[in-house]
Structure 1
Amino acid sequence: MALVPYLSESDLAEEDRPLLARPINLFRALANSPDALRTHAEFGEWIRHRCELDPRLRELAILQVGYLTASPYEWSHHIKIGHDFGVSDDDVTALIAATAGREHGFGEVETAVLAAAREITADTRMTDETWAVLLGHLGRARLVDLVIVISFYNAVIRILATLQIDVEPDYERYLEAFPLAEQTPGPETARRRG
């Protein structure tokens, strides 16, 4: 159960009601601080609709953060969102395999994106080797976008965990189809996996 109430539009001032146009539990909890929700939502909109990073790569990076940190909310929501941006069920299965260090079938750029997400999540930075591979594929601007996306979603999973945000029933099916690992790897394990 969440540590703050899930608010509805009727709980908000008239000018803040549009903040809950998408009434997911994360937004309903953040609505306890409307200005914080407004800023969070604006940044999320930039990531989803104006960031020039390939949307499939973006969603793979976000999913890697959610899986590595065993965040049910992030994982389930971004499987659904990932589907909207070209991530297939096979991609989700491959991501799980890649996280475990097994054969996964991704190409060099996807493999490097997942490595970057694991490295930033576990070590707060990307290795020089991963940076060099991604710089060659993405260029400087899109690589900075990738770092911002991974870092933002590392913040989001901390918000979700601290506020104890519940997964909505509509998203539970994604957790059933793609269960999170019982234990997430620690930083040493995450560094070794590529």
Structure 2
Amino acid sequence: MRPNRSASATPPFPEFGLSERLGPPATFDAEQQAAADELTNGPRQGVYGPFRPLLHRPSLLQAVAKVGETLRYAGMLDAALREWAICVVSRELSNVFEWDMHLPLAEAAGVPPAALAAVERGVPLPTDLHADLVLAHAIAGELIHQHRLSDETYAAALRTWGEAVTVELLTLVGYFVMVCWLMNVARTPGP
């Protein structure tokens, strides 16, 4: 069982401890059951997180799940960069589920604890943080707060990763923004 890291986060998560208000349907129709079975038999091995509210729209659940699986299990980003970006997005959007789910994955992938602590507290990043993590943090921040990238940030991404990886990172940020917003509204509990 993972520790519930969001319980002691500073600043706190707004939805932490609140009752879920949009969970899965009380009973599943055939399409919902098929979607749930597909998740349970796939790499996620269960129906949790954003897929709880998405069970109300099984075809949408399946499409969202496929994008997430591609990004997490068949992507080009190395694990540290991927998990770091997910943590940055989840903290920027104050999402309990994704923070608690991906924080230990980021730690296991080698993201420095001091960098994760800085993201949690919303303070400047450590000055010795690897440049690709600093750049990914800037990209997520610009996308979330300005809804676009500056020319300088875009050029740095292309120099650092090339077009394909840059597209994947942009998609990863957008995907996790979407699922975080859904879960924030649904008040989906942490893992």
TM-score between both structures, scaled by the size of structure 2: 0.75
4+ runs deviating over 6 angstroms: none
Task: Report the counterpart of residue 30 of structure 1 in structure 2.
Answer: 54
Closer, same or farther: CA 25–112 of 1 in aligned 2, 3 Å: closer
Choose the corresponding residue for 2:135, options 112, 115, 119. 112
Task: Report the counterpart of residue 81 of structure 1 in structure 2.
Answer: 105
Compute the displacement of 1:92 (Å).
1.5
Matched-pair contact (CA < 8 Å) for 1:63–1:74: yes
Deviations 1:5-56 (A, max 9, x none): 3358x73535334234123243222212211111111110000011112221
Closer, same or farther: CA 16–133 of 1 in aligned 2, 3 Å: closer
The equivalences for 1:7-86 within 5 A come to 7=25, 11-13=28-30, 15-21=34-40, 22-86=46-110
RMSD: 2.3
Compute the displacement of 1:145 (Å).
0.8
Higher relative contact order (CA 8 A, sep 6+): 2
d(CA) in 2 for partners of 1:61, 1:46: 16
Matched-pair contact (CA < 8 Å) for 2:36–2:47: no
TM-score between both structures, scaled by the size of structure 1: 0.74
d(CA) in 1 for partners of 2:25, 2:104: 23
Structure with the largest fraction of helix: 1
Task: Report the counterpart of residue 161 of structure 1 in structure 2.
Answer: 184
Indicate the SS of the match to 1:11: coil
Matched-pair contact (CA < 8 Å) for 2:20–2:188: yes
d(CA) in 1 for partners of 2:34, 2:47: 16
Quick one: which amino acid aligns to residue 152 of structure 1? Y
Gaps of 5+ in 2: 1-18, 41-45
1:3 is the counterpart of 2:27? no
Matched-pair contact (CA < 8 Å) for 1:60–1:87: yes
Gaps of 5+ in 1: 169-194
Matched-pair contact (CA < 8 Å) for 1:6–1:25: no
Task: Report the counterpart of residue 179 of structure 1 in structure 2.
Answer: none
Matched-pair contact (CA < 8 Å) for 2:114–2:126: no
d(CA) in 1 for partners of 2:39, 2:108: 21
Task: Report the counterpart of residue 7 of structure 2 in structure 1.
Answer: none
Closer, same or farther: CA 18–95 of 1 in aligned 2, 3 Å: same
Indicate the SS of the match to 2:50: helix
Compute the displacement of 1:70 (Å).
1.6
d(CA) in 1 for partners of 2:108, 2:61: 23
